[in-house]
A and B are shown apart, each in its own frame.
Chain A
Amino acid sequence: MLIESVLAGAVRGGTSMLYPVLGETIAERSGVINLGTEGCMLAGALAAYVVGIETGSVWLGALAGAAAGAALALVHAFMVLSRGSNQIATGLVITFLGLGTTALFGQSYVGQGVNAFAAVPVPGLSEVPFIGRVLFDHDPLTYLSLVAAVVTWFVVFRTRTGMKLRAAGERPEVLEAFGLSPVRIRYVAVVVGGSLAGLGGGQLSTAFTRNWSENMTVGRGFVAVALVIFAAWNPLKAIGGAYLFSGAIALQLELQARGSEISKYLLQAMPYVTVIVVLAVMSRRQLQRSPESLARVLG
């Protein structure tokens, strides 16, 4: 069934997008854009792959992926927050740094066997027609990503920590008036964001594709940054954003596999066109909701 296959594909392929979208949402809520998300994903993808192989534990691998993403994000935070460098330029440099170093250190792991996350069908629920296959027959990191989205939403909108985070992005001077440091909050937000991007990369390499290859994210990190706007900096809407992109990929492949007469070049461009069209339509309205501090970055 086309719809079932597309939706199942959207969830399966969307997890590695959902983590970085959540991470970047947190960072941008604090007022920092991290275009190094792509690099953080690559760092996470390689670290998870390597540690998974070397220790024999997929979970240690996932942890290492998150740590690698966090480490690279820390470089971004330091440059931007302590050295006052341009956020956009620094982010791009971080991406290329991640790309280059992972290509170098990953060389000997190309084509190696991987210790991979297996799908864990949820007992009972995975048997339910349609819903079972779409939602309840995935690897643990996929279920965890949905939990992470809900938790992130709760923290951002329902806790004091979240209030401070949003204040850092909207009215840092208010925080200062209360004796709190917006810079410190941003550091934490960027690093947590990077760790989620790293975890997304880890899911890509050790659960979804079971593979490491140079530049294996192929731009997913940039798409994730775009999807943050689509999701209006809302962690719950981020789920829709991530699945929209991967659903478009799944749809184009399902159409091709069914012998569709539509040009395959159009089909291949569809996921990207979808994101760009959605952004074009939504941007003006959505940006009204953008954290105030981002305005200074983008001037």
Chain B
Amino acid sequence: MRSRRTGTLAAILALGILVAACGDDDDSGATASPETSAPTDDTTAEAPAEGAAPAEGSLTIGFIYVGPKDDFGYNQAAFQGSEAVQAAFPAVTIMQAENVPETAEAEAVMQKMIDDGATLIFATSYGHLEFARNLAADNPDVVFVHQGGLEGEAKLDNLGTYFGTVYEPVYTAGIAAGAATESGTLGYVYAFPIPQTLANINAFTLGAESVNPDVEVITLATGSWCDPGLQAQAAQSLLDQGADVLTQHQDCTKTIIEATEAAGAFTVGYHADASSLAPTGWLTGSEWNWGPLYIDIVQTVIDGGFVASAFNGDYRVGLQTGDNPFVQSAFGSSVDADTVALIDAARERFVTGGSPFSGPVLAQDGSIVFAEGEQPSYEDIETMDFFVEGVIGAIG
């Protein structure tokens, strides 16, 4: 009897612990606990305004998000982009679905939007891509745009991906960090070693090294987009190691910023301007501004020009090509004019064709990744699988 009881209890607890350990592992940089909150298909329909262009009036757009639309991070930024679309095109009907998991559920939610008349779908999380692709093949009259992925082999006339060059403002924030540090040690808390995150960490490190060649960046993976308890311990570990500037690629950012500020260290933010949480230590950060790009895409679809446009592919916008939807946050009071001048110079370099990853770039082990004079492509950067020299931490 006793051993049977042991088994039952062990099984239940193992289940609980598994739920805990396998919480969320989406790839988007988005808050996710999709298994716990049911997707809400909250259709905010508006009657077409009188006198609007027929094409615009008859357009219905669906937006799906992996997390809640008010997460103070990735999903909220995308939601605000959809609001900008509504403001720019009052006659367009917009459907919203939050907490859409990166599973077949996403396909069902998008299919329902199509059944309800949507002919343009924004799938805003990294893991939504394959489901958008499946539907795109079956629904040639519906345009699918995906945020952050790469289209892959099968080029469809009604599918495209878009993203900003996230790593540009992260590089310039690295300059601010490299100029601010006294210990020469910076700390980076992240969730998973996906290419987007690796590119951010590398850009941050290269930016810091550009003003402070001996700087080192300690990286800590939490294995979760939002586990405040782990974040608190991670921040403490970094501070114990002498890091005096902390930054992160997490969804909920507050815990790390609070711990950094309390320790008198500097903060570089991500996703949103959090300077109010760190009045003393805030340096700068990066935040999203999707509106202009979303509006461009919607206008292109209304004009019937999607297939011929750059959006029917892997569209990437950076400082060189236009308005990067990922912008630099305001500077904190401790960032001096010399540092701002260095940052401006770096931006100027990117505007005129340079990249944070312009060669020479060395990997952690000293091997050459991008040779002197080499200009890596977006694809090179978005498939990044290494740390640059100066980063402490293993990827595997």
Q: Which residues of A contact B (CB under 8 A)?
A: 5, 9, 12-13, 16, 35, 38, 88, 96, 99-100, 103, 107, 110-111, 113-114, 116, 204-205, 208-211, 213-220, 222-223, 225-226, 229, 246, 249-250, 253-254, 256-265, 268-269, 272, 275-276, 279-280, 283-284, 287-288, 290, 294-295, 298-299
Other-chain contact of A215, B33, B277, B392, B394 (Cβ < 8 Å)? B33
Give CA–CA (A288, B9) in the complex, Å.
Answer: 14
Q: Which residues 170-229 of B have a CB within 8 angstroms of A?
A: 187, 193, 218-224, 226-229
B275 close to A (CB within 8 Å)? no
Neighbouring A residues of B393 by C-beta, 8 Å: 256, 259, 264
Give CA–CA (A254, B16) in the complex, Å.
Answer: 26
Q: Is the CB of A214 within 8 A of B33?
A: yes
Q: Is the CB of A107 within 8 A of B70?
A: yes
Other-chain contact of A219, B12, B16, B221 (Cβ < 8 Å)? B16
For B315-334 the 0/1 string (1 means CB < 8 A from A) is: 00000000000000000000
Q: Is the CB of B255 within 8 A of A219?
A: no
B377 close to A (CB within 8 Å)? no
What is the chain B residue whose CB lies nearest that of A10? B233
- Known pairs A110-B71, A208-B229, A211-B252; list 20 more (Cβ under 8 Å): A96-B36, A100-B37, A107-B70, A113-B277, A210-B255, A211-B258, A219-B19, A219-B20, A222-B13, A250-B233, A253-B234, A257-B187, A257-B241, A263-B394, A275-B17, A276-B14, A276-B17, A287-B6, A298-B5, A299-B5
Give CA–CA (A4, B14) in the complex, Å.
Answer: 30
What is the chain A residue whose CB lies nearest that of B15? A222
Q: Is the CB of B254 within 8 A of A211?
A: yes
Q: Is the CB of A216 within 8 A of B6?
A: no
Neighbouring B residues of A113 by C-beta, 8 Å: 276-277
Shortest Cβ gap from B18 to chain A (Å): 8
Shortest Cβ gap from B176 to chain A (Å): 22
Neighbouring A residues of B129 by C-beta, 8 Å: none
Contacts A222-B20, A258-B241; A299 near B8 (Cβ below 8 A): yes
Neighbouring B residues of A219 by C-beta, 8 Å: 16-17, 19-21, 23
Shortest Cβ gap from B242 to chain A (Å): 10
What is the chain A residue whose CB lies nearest that of B396? A263
Give CA–CA (A116, B237) in the complex, Å.
Answer: 21
Contacts A103-B36, A204-B229; A218 near B237 (Cβ below 8 A): no
Give CA–CA (A246, B234) in the complex, Å.
Answer: 12
Q: Is the CB of B19 within 8 A of A253?
A: no
Shortest Cβ gap from A234 to chain B (Å): 17
A interface majority secondary structure: helix
> Can you sample 27 A-B contacts with CB below 8 Å?
A5-B237, A12-B233, A13-B229, A88-B12, A103-B36, A107-B68, A113-B277, A208-B228, A216-B227, A219-B20, A220-B20, A222-B13, A222-B20, A225-B16, A226-B13, A226-B16, A257-B218, A257-B220, A257-B392, A268-B222, A275-B17, A280-B10, A284-B6, A294-B5, A298-B5, A298-B8, A299-B4
Give CA–CA (A272, B21) in the complex, Å.
Answer: 7
B119 close to A (CB within 8 Å)? no
Give CA–CA (A250, B232) in the complex, Å.
Answer: 10
B86 close to A (CB within 8 Å)? no
Neighbouring A residues of B37 by C-beta, 8 Å: 100, 103, 214
Shortest Cβ gap from A120 to chain B (Å): 14
Shortest Cβ gap from B392 to chain A (Å): 4
Neighbouring B residues of A216 by C-beta, 8 Å: 226-229, 252
Q: Is the CB of B16 within 8 A of A261?
A: no
Contacts A222-B20, A254-B237, A256-B221; A213 near B394 (Cβ below 8 A): no
Shortest Cβ gap from A225 to chain B (Å): 6
Q: Is the CB of B229 within 8 A of A222?
A: no
Q: Is the CB of B70 within 8 A of A35?
A: no
Give CA–CA (A111, B253) in the complex, Å.
Answer: 8
B31 close to A (CB within 8 Å)? yes
Give CA–CA (A269, B220) in the complex, Å.
Answer: 14
B230 close to A (CB within 8 Å)? yes
Which 4 pairs show the lowest CB-CB distances between chains A and B? A219-B20, A222-B16, A209-B228, A111-B72
Shortest Cβ gap from A26 to chain B (Å): 18
Q: Is the CB of A214 within 8 A of B31?
A: yes
Shortest Cβ gap from B102 to chain A (Å): 17
Give CA–CA (A284, B31) in the complex, Å.
Answer: 40
Neighbouring A residues of B187 by C-beta, 8 Å: 257
Shortest Cβ gap from B301 to chain A (Å): 32
B100 close to A (CB within 8 Å)? no
Q: Which residues 21-35 of B have a CB within 8 angstroms of A?
A: 21, 23, 31, 33
Shortest Cβ gap from B1 to chain A (Å): 7
What is the chain A residue whose CB lies nearest that of B258? A210
Give CA–CA (A225, B11) in the complex, Å.
Answer: 13
Give CA–CA (A243, B309) in the complex, Å.
Answer: 58
Give CA–CA (A223, B2) in the complex, Å.
Answer: 22
Q: Is the CB of A264 within 8 A of B396?
A: yes
Contacts A223-B20, A276-B17, A279-B13; A215 near B36 (Cβ below 8 A): yes
Other-chain contact of B232, A13, A276, A287 (Cβ < 8 Å)? A13
Specify which of A246, A258, A287, A298 lies most central, judged by the most chain B CB atoms within 10 Å of its CB.
A298
B299 close to A (CB within 8 Å)? no
For B81-92 the 0/1 string (1 means CB < 8 A from A) is: 000000000000
Q: Which residues 254-271 of B have a CB within 8 angstroms of A?
A: 254-255, 258-259
Contacts A211-B258, A222-B19, A257-B238; A13 near B2 (Cβ below 8 A): no
Shortest Cβ gap from A207 to chain B (Å): 10
Q: Is the CB of B229 within 8 A of A99?
A: no
B240 close to A (CB within 8 Å)? yes
Give CA–CA (A295, B2) in the complex, Å.
Answer: 8
For B368-396 the 0/1 string (1 means CB < 8 A from A) is: 00000000000000000000000011111
Give CA–CA (A39, B259) in the complex, Å.
Answer: 26
B231 close to A (CB within 8 Å)? yes
Neighbouring B residues of A223 by C-beta, 8 Å: 16-17, 20
What is the chain A residue whose CB lies nearest that of B277? A113
Shortest Cβ gap from A71 to chain B (Å): 20
Neighbouring B residues of A103 by C-beta, 8 Å: 33, 36-37, 68
B236 close to A (CB within 8 Å)? yes
Q: Is the CB of A110 within 8 A of B72?
A: yes
